[in-house]
Structure 1
Amino acid sequence: MKTLGILGGMSWESTLSYYKLLNKGVRDKIGGLHSCRMVMHSVDFAPFAEQMGKNDWESITAGLVKGAKSVEAGGAEALIIATNTMHKAADEVQAAVNIPLLHMADAIAAGAKKTGASKLGLLGTAFTMEQDFLSRPLKEKYGLDVIVPDCDGRSMVHRTIFDELCCGKLTDKTRDAYIEIIEEMTALGAESIVLGCTEIGLLVKPEDVSVPLIDTVEAHVELALDYVLK
Structure 2
Amino acid sequence: MKKIGLVGGISWTSTLDYYKYINQGINEKMGGLNSAECVIYSLNFADIQNAGWTNAYELIYNACGSLISNDVDCIVLCANTAHLFADKIQSKIDIPIIHIASATAEEIKKQKLHKVGLLGTKFTMEMDFYRNKLKEFNIETVVPSGKKDIEDIQEIVKNELGKGIISKESKLKFIRYANELKERGAEGLILGCTEIPMLIEQADLDFPVFDTTKIHVEKIINFALN
Is this a same-fold pair by TM over 0.5? Answer: yes
- Normalising TM by the smaller chain, what interval? over 0.9
Is 1:113–2:122 an aligned residue pair? no
- Measured in 2, the distance between the counterparts of 1:107 and 1:87 equals 12
**AA partner of residue 11 (structure 1):** S
The superposition leaves residues 37-71 of structure 1 with CA deviations (integer Å, 9 ceiling, x where unpaired) of 1111101110101211xx6x34x111111110111
Within 5 A, what are the aligned runs for 1:168-207? 168-207=164-203
Task: Find the counterpart in structure 2 of residue 42 from structure 1.
Answer: 42
Aligned to 1:135: 131
Partner of 1:145: 140
| Alignment gaps of 5+ in structure 1 | none
Give the whole-Å Cα distance in 2 for the aligned partners of 1:218 and 1:175.
19
In the other structure, the counterpart of 1:99 is 95
RMSD between superposed Cα atoms in Å: 1.2
In 2, Cα distance between equivalents of 1:14 and 1:31: 25
How far residue 114 of structure 1 moved from its aligned partner, in angstroms, is 3.8
Which segments of 5 or more consecutive residues in structure 2 lack a partner in the other structure?
Answer: none
Count of matched residue positions in the alignment of Structure 1 and Structure 2 = 225
The 1-side partners of 2:153 and 2:97 are apart by: 27
| Contact 1:85–1:197, Cα closer than 8 Å, also in 2 | yes
| TM-score where L is the length of structure 2 | 0.96
SS in 1 for 2:58: helix
Kindly state the Cα deviation for residue 115 of structure 1 after the two structures are TM-superposed: 3.3
Instruction: Measure how far apart 1:118 and its partner are.
Output: 1.5
Residue by residue over 1:61-99, the C-alpha shift from the partner in whole angstroms, topping out at 9 and shown as x without a partner, is 111111101111111101110001111111222233221
- 2:70 corresponds in structure 1 to 74
Residues in 1 aligned to 2:121 and 2:189: alpha-carbon distance in whole angstroms: 14
Q: CA deviation at 1:135?
A: 0.6
| Deviation sequence 1:182-211 (CA, Å, 0-9, x none) | 011111111110000100001102111111
Q: Does 1:157 align with 2:157?
A: no
1:229 and 2:217 aligned: no
Deviating more after overlay: 111-120 vs 145-154: 111-120
TM-score by length of 1: 0.94
Give how far 1:111 is off: 2.3
**% identity of equivalent residues:** 35
State the distance in 2 between where 1:113 and 1:33 align: 35
Aligned residue for 2:129, secondary structure, equals: coil
